[in-house]
Amino acid sequence: MPEPLDAALTEVRALLLDPALTRAVAAGRRRGHRPTVVRAELRPVTLKAGPRLQIATSDGARPHTRNVAPGPEAAVAVDELLAEPFGNWHVETADATLQLRVTKSGEAQVHRAAATRPAATPSGNDRTKEYLLDPGDPIFAEIGGSAAKRRQVDAFLRALAATLPADLTGPLRVVDLGCGNAYLTFAAYRYLATRGLDVELIGVDVREDQRRRNTELAQRLGWADRVSFVAGTIAEAVVDPAPDLVLALHACDTATDEALARAVRWEARWVLAAPCCHHDLARQLRAQPTPAPYELLTRQGILRERFADVLTDALRAGLLRVHGYRAEVVEFVDSQHTPRNLLIRARRSGSTGDPRAAEYRELVDQWRVTPRLETLLAADEPPAVYDLGGNTL
């Protein structure tokens, strides 16, 4: 439930000046206002002169760091930051985590959680796996908190963290194509918000009942003005304006190609796609003889299916490179949790004409296949124009 902003900021102030503070981030902006800095991060440090509160700010071009002494000096510095019209505060102490977001109406939406104490392992080692999203976070009470789900959420968030720049600031618009029940959608929003980013996220799924369910969940979490859902196909759902980050997790067969094609059309800065069910090229491979000397790769059905999986994702990554992305295929989550464990991770570089485009074309021609992604992207390109001699102009 929304709370008075002044009271919530008073609570934030107490945590920022608490000796138990471990880290705090302020970022984003309130509606109609702009802070003098785009991001501020506070953390306790110990210097030769004694304990200090380190305050690192950025104006979007260059960082500035200062260390203030506990007491009146720290209080003045904290009050200056709290007076800035930041849209989000994320505060962590040894005992608690507080997430504050300023709504469009100027009220505070606050989430509070107790710090999770690591339990001792059977070997007596007190160090346990450190999750990017606290397993005790209230979000798991809504999306489910089984060990398997937490592992998959953490694996996905680590891939997301490795994709985005560590110093990313400013608004971030995200779309999750084929979001399903959206538990990774909500986890992505929660994680990005805890990084102090001003996030707006849209989930797309073809089923209207999923849209209603996910919208109700966003309302229960208090995120309805930042996380929304639309019903529609990946290829045609209305998403405006274009997103910075495109997610497509376990979209079936050529639905992954439709998601990648939309990301390219949008010129999205980052793309994360976890493919699922590679039937299209498998069907094409079955329909014609295998080129020599590769008959052994496709003679057995199980090997042909697995080869089709590899070929499909290799060609997808190759096409993304041709269209101005740096693309790689990495492991998404350990194969013991899901056999569909690959992730296509891409970052837009803006440069087209990848020198390995000829390799892509040679591979496609040799296997006599037509990747769905190629067809979708070719439909967006203007037709070639020829002179009277048949040469491309």
Whole-prediction pTM: 0.70
* H or E element that contains 211: helix 208-221
Residue 357 burial by CB count (10 A; 0-12/13-18/19+): exposed, middle or buried? middle
**CA separation for the pair 190, 333 (Å, rounded):** 20
* Half-sphere exposure for 393 (CA within 13 Å, toward CB): 8
Question: Which position has the token pair 């720049």?
Answer: 165
Q: pLDDT tens, position by position, for the chain (393 residues)?
A: 789 999 999 999 999 999 999 889 888 888 888 899 888 889 898 887 889 999 988 776 667 889 999 999 999 999 999 999 999 899 988 888 898 999 889 999 998 887 654 444 444 443 445 788 887 777 888 888 787 788 889 999 999 999 999 888 878 999 999 999 999 999 999 999 888 888 999 999 999 999 999 999 999 888 898 999 999 999 999 998 999 999 998 888 899 999 999 999 999 999 999 998 888 999 999 998 999 999 998 889 899 999 999 999 999 999 999 999 999 998 876 544 444 578 999 999 977 666 778 889 999 999 999 999 999 999 876 544 333 343 444
